[in-house]
Amino acid sequence: MTVDPYLWLEEVTGDDAMAWVRERNATTVAELTGNVRFEQMRDEIRAVFDADDRIPYVRRRGEYLYNYWQDSTNPRGLWRRTTLERYRQADPEWQVILDLDALAEREGENWVWDGATVLRPEYRKALVSLSRGGADATVIREFDIETREFVTGGYELPEAKCWLRWIDADLVYVGTDFGPGSLTASGYPRIVKEWRRGTPLDEATTVFEGKPEDVSVSAVHDRTPGFERSFVTRNIEFYRAERFFRTPAELVRIDVPEDAETDVEREWLLIELRTPWTVGGTTYPAGALLAARFDDFIAGERDLTVLFTPDAHSSLGSHSWTRDHLILDILRDVQTHLEVLTQATGWTRAPLPGVPAGQLSGIIGTNPDVDNEYLLNSSGYTEPATLRRGVFTDEPEILKQAPGFFDTDGIEVRQLFATSKDGTRIPYFVVGSGEPRDRPTLLSGYGGFEISLTPSYLGHVGRGWLARGGTYVVANLRGGGEYGPEWHSQAVKANRHLVYEDFAAVAADLVAGGITTPARLGIQGGSNGGLLMGVMLTRYPELFGAIVSQVPLLDMRRYHELLAGASWMAEYGDPREPEEWAYIEPFSPYHNVQAGQQVPPTLFVTSTRDDRVHPAHARKMVARMLEQGHDVRYYENIEGGHGAAADNEQLAFKWALVFEFLWRTLS
**Neighbour-count burial for 281-316, b at 16+ CB within 10 Å, e otherwise:** eeebbbbbbbbbebeebbeeeeebeebbebeeebbb
Q: Which of 591, 617, 630, 642 is catalytic?
A: 642
Q: Which of 527, 549, 567, 588 is catalytic?
A: 527
The total of other beta-carbon atoms located within 10 Å of residue 360's CB is 22
Q: Which residues are registered as beta bridge partners of 48? A: none
Question: How far is Cα 233 from Cα 644, in angstroms, rounded to an integer?
Answer: 30
Question: How far is Cα 338 from Cα 350, in angstroms, rounded to an integer?
Answer: 9
Quick check: is 630 catalytic? no
Spell out the SS3 assignment of 6-31: CHHHHCCCCHHHHHHHHHHHHHHHHH
Three-state secondary-structure class, residue 4 = coil
**Neighbour-count burial for 547-562, b at 16+ CB within 10 Å, e otherwise:** bbbbbbbbbbbbbbeb
- Nearest Cα residue to 286 out of 68, 6, 481, 57: 481
Quick check: is 460 catalytic? no
Question: How far is Cα 275 from Cα 257, in angstroms, rounded to an integer?
Answer: 8
Question: How far is Cα 400 from Cα 149, in angstroms, rounded to an integer?
Answer: 31
- Nearest Cα residue to 318 out of 180, 408, 451: 451
The total of other beta-carbon atoms located within 10 Å of residue 346's CB is 7
Q: Where are the strands (E) in 100-228, listed by range?
A: 111-118, 125-132, 138-144, 149-150, 156-160, 163-168, 171-175, 191-196, 205-209, 216-222
**Neighbour-count burial for 54-85, b at 16+ CB within 10 Å, e otherwise:** bbbbbbbbbebbbbbbbeeebbbbbbbbbeee
69's enclosing H/E stretch is strand 64-69
Kindly calculate the radius of gyration of the chain based on its CA atoms and give it in whole angstroms: 25
How far CA 60 is from CA of 142, 214, 319, 375, in Å, comes to 20, 34, 18, 10
- Amino acid at residue number 429: F
Known catalytic residues? 527, 642
